[in-house]
Structure 1
Amino acid sequence: MTNKDFFVQTWESEMQITLNAVNALPKDMDKLNYRCDEKARSAAEIIGHMLPHAEAICNATKTFVADEKTERKYSSVAEAAGYFKKNASQLVKNLKGVDEKTWEEQIVEFHHNGHKLFAYPMSAIFWIALFDIIHHRGQLSTYYRHMGVRNPNIYGPTAEDMEEMMAKQQ
């Protein structure tokens, strides 16, 4: 398995988990204004930051610039999930047309809200974006109960899942 193949396999798995996490957010968008600390991002700001990563690297398969706009706002959870799913899926399709040399050697510039921050080979930029999505998804996972909804299952059962399993055994 090549590095690119492993990336695609990991991306598909992690993006489904991320999509499940987005779909588990409260449907009342006002609840996404929750923030755990005044310096922390709100839940809405977290998804406005992390979900555009998929679009940025999807576009970078063609332009070699990951021009990330991280203050995106959504009118609904369904809109956020649809936006993310569209770009995450398109990335997989686009990567089928990227050869190994391009994946390993093509320099991609990373821009954040119009400002160039750094440039690395495509593979490095894409892995950074994937890990950053996972990182912010982890932050978001601490917000669900405070927003009045059940935590999504990310890598294993939640406390609620365990309680239900224990109750069934009794």
Structure 2
Amino acid sequence: MIKQALLGEFLHEAENTRKLLNAIPDSALEWKPSEKNWTTGQLASHIAEVYNWYDGTFNLDVFDMGTYQYDKGDISKAQNIVEKFEENVTRAHEALNNWDESTAMNEWRMEMNGNVIFPPMPKIQVIRGFLFNHLYHHRGELVVYLRSTGNKVPGMYGPTADDNAF
């Protein structure tokens, strides 16, 4: 039952992420709001990469970032980021579909070279926070990036100010 609820949200929100990533023009990829922030391309790439963490979160009790291989691909074109998202979201969907939800309360932690970097907690809490909510947070940032560069924002939960409904 938990898996079905997560799957429904996953599918809905993956479509919202797809709309948002497809709204990024190449001309905005190098923009960033300050020296402390990522560029639009880096932020969009990170959003696409979160989907690559599903297998290690759903199917392992210890996610080792020391051995994890981050492959952002070529982020010089927005379409490349969308393609990486599509690859990752397909694998994420498979990980969620194949997940044994009886492991939802297993203790999960993230380590790097033997050091705990994400405190142990029930896997379901990590799925909601580390995967789902983390992604939503960064999508919100990306909306601000798009607005700040004069680009349109797609409706994800209804019309936006860019739609003719207003």
TM-score (normalizing by structure 1): 0.78
Is structure 2 residue 109 aligned with structure 1 residue 109? yes
Is structure 2 residue 41 aligned with structure 1 residue 44? yes
Kindly state the Cα deviation for residue 115 of structure 1 after the two structures are TM-superposed: 6.5
Specify which of 134, 137, 151 is matched with residue 135 of structure 1. 137
Q: Distance in 1 between matches of 2:6 and 2:48?
A: 18
Greater percentage in helix: 1
Aligned residues of 1:4 and 1:123 also touching (Cα < 8 A) = no
Aligned residues of 1:54 and 1:88 also touching (Cα < 8 A) = yes
Aligned ranges for residues 1-170 of structure 1 at < 5 Å?
2-28=1-27, 31-64=28-61, 65=63, 67=65, 72=72, 74-102=75-103, 104-111=104-111, 116-118=116-118, 119-128=120-129, 129-161=131-163, 164-165=164-165
Kindly state the Cα deviation for residue 122 of structure 1 after the two structures are TM-superposed: 2.5
Aligned residues of 1:46 and 1:140 also touching (Cα < 8 A) = yes
Aligned residues of 1:54 and 1:91 also touching (Cα < 8 A) = yes
Kindly state the Cα deviation for residue 154 of structure 1 after the two structures are TM-superposed: 2.1
Q: Distance in 2 between matches of 1:149 and 1:48?
A: 18
Could you tell me which runs of 5 or more consecutive residues in structure 2 were left unpaired when the two chains were aligned: none
Aligned residues of 2:54 and 2:96 also touching (Cα < 8 A) = no
Give secondary structure in 2 for the equivalent of 1:82.
helix
Give secondary structure in 2 for the equivalent of 1:84.
helix
TM-score (normalizing by structure 2): 0.80
Aligned residues of 1:56 and 1:66 also touching (Cα < 8 A) = no
Kindly state the Cα deviation for residue 139 of structure 1 after the two structures are TM-superposed: 0.7
Give secondary structure in 2 for the equivalent of 1:39.
coil
Aligned residues of 2:72 and 2:84 also touching (Cα < 8 A) = no
Give the letter aligned to residue 39 of structure 2: S
Q: Distance in 1 between matches of 2:44 and 2:135?
A: 9
Aligned residues of 1:24 and 1:152 also touching (Cα < 8 A) = yes
Q: Distance in 2 between matches of 1:89 and 1:155?
A: 23
Q: Distance in 2 between matches of 1:53 and 1:34?
A: 21
- Deviations 1:104-137, CA, capped at 9 Å, x for gaps: 1333333579964123332222211111111110
Moved more, 83-92 or 61-70: 61-70
Could you tell me which runs of 5 or more consecutive residues in structure 1 were left unpaired when the two chains were aligned: none
